[in-house]
Amino acid sequence: MDHSYNNKFSPETVADKHKSVLLSPELKKNQEVLTQRLAGCFDFMQREFSFGSPPVKASIIFFEGLVDKRQIENSLIKSIFINCNIFFRKEQNSEPSHADLLDTLKNKVLTLAEVKTVDNYEDIILQISSGDTVLLLDNCASGLVIGTRSWAARAISMSENETTVFGPKESFTETLISNTAMLRRRLKSSSFKMERLTIGRISQTSVCFCYIENIAPPALVANVKERLSQIDIDAILDTGYLEELITEEPYSIFSQAMHTERPDRVCGNLLEGKVGIMIDGSPMVLVLPVTFPQFANAPDDYYINYIPATLLRFLRIAAFAVSLLMTAVFVSLLTYHHEMIPTPLLLTIISARQGVPFPAFVEALLLETTFELLREAGLRLPNAIGPAVSIVGALIIGEAAVQAGLVSTPMVVVIAFSGIASFVIPNYNAGIITRIMRFVFLIAAGLLGLFGIMITFILLITRMASVSFFGIPYLSPVAPFNNKQIFDILTRRPWFSNTLRPWQEGMKNQKRYEPKPAPSSKDKKGASNES
């Protein structure tokens, strides 16, 4: 069963822009209005009944498939029939008003955990669309919203996109309340805040905004809240919608938020002063702000010893450079800079390229495009045949192209090695940036050789260093250089020396770990004498 949160901030909805229509005291009129508004909705259900003495007409309304019918039967209707008559027979000397009866049902009869009052049609439609049940009484201009949410949902399973050898295995699901529970189970402090709002004029999507008080800078929290409150769109179906709507650089290819499906990774980022955004219906969570060097971090880093974790981080940084530049450098050397290649290697490459009709640039462009097509085909095909088709297709196409003399063997090896290096990057968004920029560097290498690569690299670094998202420079702590935080990016520091969080302007609680002083030699000697 889902739970309701008080909306501390929310954007304008349809009910805000068009004055909410209040309920009528007449039950029949309320039923007619709701039936007219929900005409064409076959799953809209109404159940009319009477209870008490003298009999009071009542009606419950809900959407089939979103509610727990057994809970409605046993905890709602049955509870009203049994407990209401007993209560009024014992405690009421006269016939109560229908408003008093509604309060009595809410406070003394109904045994469900979540019961609240509603007085307009817009709120009723929103609540029953969320899986609640609404109880209406005759001669009463208010109703009761009863929490009866229950729908088919995917069970908590292992992460598919961010797998680890050690550490937690569970990942987020499409149900918002399950996702918030996984976070609350890990962060039990009252400083951990989760605020709920509704975005989307038609979808009315529930969005959860979470942060840790006194760790997340207040300016960052206020900034994200303000951006979320200004969103006015018909529907929000995934976190990708929010990323584009709250971004500061809408035309940039650089990812400005981290997408993750791991609860432990979200909690780790919240403990560093970041904020998280979850939406109902999406298993991905947005974490922001994020800097580009952080994309080299993997969840495994924090579950293994810091020495191999540091070495693996260096390996990922090297793989990023190889994936980005290797093909472009190889093309530039073959096209413009033969003298930089050792003579034995150059002779081997020339002999392998004999009969190839295309220049090195066209050859590399064709192979890179083919590799991207195979990668996309592997993602879009069913899981049972996708990997087999991509791997077998790469082997067959590569071997056939070499045998036909369309491409050379060294170029195939370079493209394959560059593609394998791109899979080492732990973040999918960073991998997309690498794939796009690889083609840019390849074109620059084909036009100007190493000079073109250097110009493109300088322009790329200049652009990345000039932008900041939510007040954080995108290349921080590399540019501007911060000698205290740079080691948190290049290495995985051991927990016993990681006493402070990464600093952000406005952070009130930076201390993470308080090392206890080691016992003195006198204490040790006294303890041994006592034993």
Quote the Cα angle for 389-392-394, to 5°. Answer: 100
Looking at residue 110, what is its pLDDT? Answer: 83
Question: Minimal CA–CA distance to 243: which of 262, 229, 257?
Answer: 257
Q: Tokens for 72?
A: 């409605």
Looking at residue 157, what is its pLDDT? Answer: 81
Looking at residue 383, what is its pLDDT? Answer: 66
User: Quick one: DSSP state of residue 106?
Assistant: I
Question: What distance in Å separates the CA atoms of residue 56 and residue 138, rounded to the nearest whole number?
Answer: 7
Question: Minimal CA–CA distance to 178: which of 117, 261, 253, 248?
Answer: 261
Looking at residue 509, what is its pLDDT? Answer: 81
Q: Tokens for 255?
A: 């990812």
Question: Where along the chain do its domains lie?
Answer: 20-146, 176-290, 305-473
H-type alpha helices, 187-270:
218-229, 239-246, 263-270
233, 241 Cβ separation under 8 angstroms: yes
Q: Tokens for 401?
A: 């192209």
Cα-Cα-Cα-Cα torsion 212, 299, 505, 194, nearest 10 degrees, comes to -20
Phi, psi of 149 (to 5 degrees): -70, 130
Quote the Cα angle for 393-426-185, to 5°. Answer: 125
According to DSSP, the β-strands at 44-51 and 472-473 are unpaired
> What is the CA 286 to chain-centroid distance, rounded?
4
22 beta partners: 120
Cis-peptide into 55, omega within 30 deg:
no
User: Quick one: DSSP state of residue 9?
Assistant: S
Per-residue pLDDT tens, the chain, 531 aa: give them: 444 444 444 444 433 444 578 888 888 999 999 999 998 888 899 989 888 777 888 999 999 888 888 888 888 888 888 776 665 555 555 555 666 788 888 888 887 888 889 989 988 998 998 889 999 998 888 899 998 888 777 778 888 788 888 888 889 998 898 899 999 999 998 899 999 999 998 888 999 999 999 899 999 999 999 999 999 999 999 888 898 888 888 788 888 888 999 999 999 999 989 999 999 989 999 999 888 888 888 888 888 888 998 999 999 999 999 999 999 999 999 999 988 989 899 899 888 888 888 899 999 998 888 888 888 877 777 765 666 666 666 667 777 777 777 888 888 889 888 988 888 888 888 888 888 899 999 999 999 999 999 999 999 999 888 888 888 888 888 888 887 788 778 888 888 887 888 878 778 887 887 777 666 655 555 555 554
Looking at residue 12, what is its pLDDT? Answer: 42
Cis-peptide into 477, omega within 30 deg:
yes
According to DSSP, the β-strands at 192-199 and 133-137 are unpaired
Looking at residue 14, what is its pLDDT? Answer: 39
Q: Tokens for 266?
A: 């979200």
Residue 370 host element (H or E): helix 360-380
The Cβ of residue 147 has, within 10 Å, a number of other Cβ atoms equal to: 22
Relative orientation angle of helices 306-335 and 450-466, to the nearest 10 degrees = 140
Q: Tokens for 86?
A: 């007993």
34, 61 Cβ separation under 8 angstroms: yes
Q: Strand (E) positions, 105-168?
A: 115-118, 133-137, 143-146
Task: Please tell me the number of Cα atoms within 13 Å of 211 on its side-chain side.
Answer: 21
Question: What distance in Å separates the CA atoms of residue 145 and residue 164, rounded to the nearest whole number?
Answer: 43
Question: What distance in Å separates the CA atoms of residue 194 and residue 188, rounded to the nearest whole number?
Answer: 12
Quote the Cα angle for 262-68-134, to 5°. Answer: 110
Q: Tokens for 122?
A: 């817009």
Quote the Cα angle for 467-471-472, to 5°. Answer: 70
Question: Minimal CA–CA distance to 232: which of 21, 19, 14?
Answer: 14
